[in-house]
Amino acid sequence: MFTEIPLFDGKTSLDLMLHVRKLILDEPNRILMDIWGIRLQGDAYDEDVKDKMTMNHGRNFPSCGTIACLNGWMDYSMGKYNTQPFNALSYLPESTKNEARALFGGSSIIEIDEVVEIQPYPFPSTFSNSPEEYAQAVAENIDKFIERNREALEIHII
């Protein structure tokens, strides 16, 4: 049986970003930036999904049975499942949304000249480092995003 996903209980966009950062650093197998979200149900793995994850990404499923990108984890943390890509933009201040698109998708999806500090995410299958190092790279992008947008994130109530 899978453990429960730790739900967000804060109030601001900053609280949510820090919650998701903690989730992925506590369990690095939770984060894959090239998958919106896979949430397994019940006691058994879907063998097709399990095979794809272990063959293509060399990852095991975390105890909660859920793997997602930042956008997916923001939705899951809010108790919302099966929503649309970039839905998590609704949890962020308007002034941060262009930069957030780069944070969620990397610069290969959207080109934003002023976002030079947030690096495009490598696909995990080409990222030779450990899941822990990959999660740390994602967390560093979250940190840069927070640093550039702290004031707006602190005052934006979700």
Does some domain include residue 3? Answer: no
Structural tokens at position 19: 């919650």
Give SS3 for 42. Answer: coil
Give residue 17's domain range: 13-155
> In terms of pTM, does the model score above 0.85?
no
Does some domain include residue 53? Answer: yes
Does some domain include residue 63? Answer: yes
Count of the separate structural domains present in the chain: 1
Burial 105-127 (b: 16+ CB within 10 A, else e): bbbeeeeeeebeebeebeebeeb
Mapping DSSP onto H, E and C, the string for 116-152 reads CCCCCCCCHHHCCCCHHHHHHHHHHHHHHHHHHHHHH
Does some domain include residue 98? Answer: yes
Does some domain include residue 141? Answer: yes
Q: Indicate the helix (H) or strand (E) that contains 153.
A: helix 131-155
Residue 104's closest CA among 22, 11, 32, 157?
Answer: 32
Helices (H), 27-83: 47-57, 70-77
What are the DSSP calls for 92-111, one per residue?
S-GGGHHHHHHHHH-TTT--
pLDDT tens digits, the chain, 158 residues: what are they? Answer: 567 778 899 999 999 999 999 999 998 888 877 777 776 665 445 555 555 555 545 666 777 767 788 888 888 888 876 555 557 778 889 888 877 877 776 543 344 444 445 555 655 555 666 788 888 888 988 898 899 899 999 999 99
Does some domain include residue 65? Answer: yes
Does some domain include residue 109? Answer: yes
Does some domain include residue 43? Answer: yes
Cα–Cα distance for residue pair 41/28, rounded to 1 Å: 20
DSSP conformational letter for 31: B
